[in-house]
Amino acid sequence: MKILQLNVWTGRLKGALERFVRENEADVICMQEAVWSEDAPGVVNYAFDSVDKLMAAGHYKYDYRSANFAIKIGNNCLMKQGNVILSKTPIVEKETIFVGGTAYSESPDLEHGGDQVYNAQKITLENGLVIVNYHGFWSTDPLGDERHVQCMHEVADLMRGEKRPVIMCGDLNVVAESPAMRELNFMHDLTAEFNIKQTLQNLKFVKDVACDHVLINDKINVKKYQTLDQLASDHKAVLTEFEIA
């Protein structure tokens, strides 16, 4: 199987992201900062590469969307943003938790950090594979702080003791050396093990930061792990090819 990890940056690189999904076939995509709307899909589809457009581009039949927040657009319609998993295999179990004491918000004060709401998704595919998708909150220090540690502990609890094959994907907003990543020591951090030094495109921040991670348990055999340079977002996509042990 192939799984792609990508913070899609609200699909603002319109056309480039849609083309990327079309050209890089994967069984599953884990996305952060994805956008969609139930009541004004046409407006969102026109302005961004929305979840609906990406599903069509990659011929995905199944999706799980977990909004962190929503903002009003047009005639008081809501555009949602959050974590999304697209899959070509049926999803048989799914859940979302909000971490760090946050909760879903409508019309947040984005100018003053009102978008700092974080959830983690956990799904199980029909073939028994468990996937966790998480977007860690952003700070200026890639080593993070105590809040990163606490949130990661809550996310780790979704997988701790899991007997099935597990993959965790996310723009975790911390590097492998961060104390927060020690909460996931029972998993294998492929970004660290493959010595990935950069997962950003440097469109906003000009420095090397490997903040995108894919982690696996011992029931996953990795065949290939690489970042893709094709421009689709302010992050690089991370591609993992694997087999279930």
Question: To which residue do tokens 């956990």 refer?
Answer: 122
Q: What is the pLDDT of residue 111?
A: 63
Q: What is the token pair recorded at 36?
A: 């969609």
Q: Give the Cα separation of 33 and 88 in Å (integer).
A: 21
Token pair of 52 as six digits: 């609906």
Rounded to 10°, the helix 51-58/16-23 angle is: 30
Mean pLDDT, to the nearest integer, of 195-204? 93
The rounded distance, in Å, linking the Cα atoms of 111 and 225 is 37
- Three-state DSSP state, 178: coil
Average pLDDT over residues 43-56: 96
Mean pLDDT, the chain, as a whole number?
95
- Spatial contact of 8 and 33, defined as CB atoms under 8 Å apart: yes
Amino acid in position 105: S
Q: How confident is the model at residue 73 (pLDDT cuts 50, 70, 90)?
A: confident
Segments making up each domain of the chain, as ranges:
2-244
Q: Does domain 2-244 have CATH number 3.60.10.10?
A: yes
